[in-house]
């Protein structure tokens, strides 16, 4: 499922011939067993003396809305795995930093973000998912 309430433009430049292609990307849900129907969020982690690595977690629609509402994605510089709305992307689907301004105002996702009670702590399931990315809520 594509989350078309969020859209980010992305330009890919071919390394072989320099041709530029522009794609309109959206977050999408995974189709694998354990992560079926969940969105992938990705974060770069660097620890002293070690090389930088990418860590990801899979979250539901409601959990993604909660992360946006609480500002977690911006604060900890998360990116979201994206794919084009039409056609196919020639390489691995990219991760893009998606700012709240990319959310379509008045869309179902925007309304879900607004409905989140930011005074309540995150659910245990969400906290567990974020531990993979070295975030403790």
For 128, the enclosing helix (H) or strand (E) is helix 124-131
Average pLDDT over residues 55-76: 94
How far is Cα 126 from Cα 57, in angstroms, rounded to an integer? 9
Asked if residue 132 is part of any domain, the answer here is: no
Q: Is the pLDDT of residue 57 over 90?
A: yes
Structural domain includes residue 2:
no
Q: At what angle do helices 108-115 and 61-69 cross, to 10 degrees?
A: 60
Answer whether residue 91 is part of any domain.
yes
- Is residue 74 one of the residues assigned to a domain? yes
- Residue 64 belongs to some domain of the structure: yes
Domain span at residue 100 reads: 8-120
Q: Examine residue 134 and state whether it is found in any structural domain, yes or no.
A: no
Question: Count of domains in the chain?
Answer: 1
Q: Determine the pLDDT at residue 106.
A: 95
Q: What per-residue confidence (pLDDT) applies to 128?
A: 92
Can you give the pTM of this predicted structure? Answer: 0.89
The pLDDT, as a whole number, for residue 15 is: 84
The helix or strand, by DSSP H or E, that contains position 125, with its residue range, turns out to be: helix 124-131
As a whole number of angstroms, the distance between CA 137 and CA 119 comes to: 13
Query: Residue 51: inside a domain, yes or no?
Result: yes
Q: What is the mean pLDDT of residues 85-111?
A: 90
Residue 137 lies in a domain: no
């Amino acid at each position: 499922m594509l989350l078309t309430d969020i859209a980010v433009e992305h330009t890919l430049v071919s390394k072989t011939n320099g041709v530029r292609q522009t794609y309109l990307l959206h977050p999408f849900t995974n189709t694998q067993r354990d992560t079926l129907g969940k969105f992938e969020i990705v974060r770069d982690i660097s620890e002293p003396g070690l090389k930088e690595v990418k860590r990801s977690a899979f979250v539901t629609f409601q959990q993604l809305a909660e992360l946006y509402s609480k500002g977690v994605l911006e604060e900890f510089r998360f990116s979201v795995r994206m794919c084009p709305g039409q056609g196919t992307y020639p390489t691995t689907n990219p991760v893009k930093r998606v700012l709240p301004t990319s959310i379509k105002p008045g869309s179902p996702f925007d309304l879900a973000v607004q409905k989140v009670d930011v005074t309540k702590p995150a659910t245990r399931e969400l906290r567990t998912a974020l531990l993979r990315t070295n975030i403790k809520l």
